Structure 1
Amino acid sequence: MKRRINQHTFQSWIRTFKAVCKQLIIPFTIFQAIRTVLFPTTFDVLLLTVFIATALVYHYELI
């Protein structure tokens, strides 16, 4: 028998994950910016760009 997924539990889990990401993205972005200034590599710049884009998406509530 196939087990059904409870949609309400799944959505609650996604909302919780989104809230945690929303709280942690700014500290990660600040840390990455400091690290990029001190040790600039291509990976650090790309990661900082991803963090900034994610922070802007959460700030303007595009998701």
Structure 2
Amino acid sequence: MKGFFNKNKHRPWFRTFRRFCGQLIIPFVIFQFIRTIFLPTVFDVLLLSFFIAIAISIYFEII
């Protein structure tokens, strides 16, 4: 399955955008985690899980 994926099939602006998001997602996850610890609402937990899912997908290059 890994050999089927071609990294160069995406356009250059998309690769730049993905790198940009990769740099910003970790501070967002940390900030949202601290906010969820102090004010745990349903929205905060869902937003934290969404940010973690994005961080994992960028780290493992799923998207």
Alignment pair present for 1:31 and 2:31: yes
Structure 2: gaps spanning 5 or more residues: 1-10
Q: TM-score, normalization: structure 1?
A: 0.78
What TM-score does the superposition give when structure 2 sets the normalisation length?
A: 0.78
Moved over 6 A (4+): none
Displacement, 1:53? 0.6
CA distance in 2, matches of 1:37, 1:30: 11
Structure 1 residues without counterparts, runs of 5 or longer: 1-10
Q: How many residues align?
A: 54
1:46 aligns with 2:46: yes
Counterpart in the other structure of 1:57: 57
* SS of residue in 1 equivalent to 2:61: coil
Pairwise CA RMSD = 1.4
Which residue in 1 is equivalent to 2:6? none
Note the C-alpha offset of 1:14. Answer: 1.2
Larger radius of gyration: 1
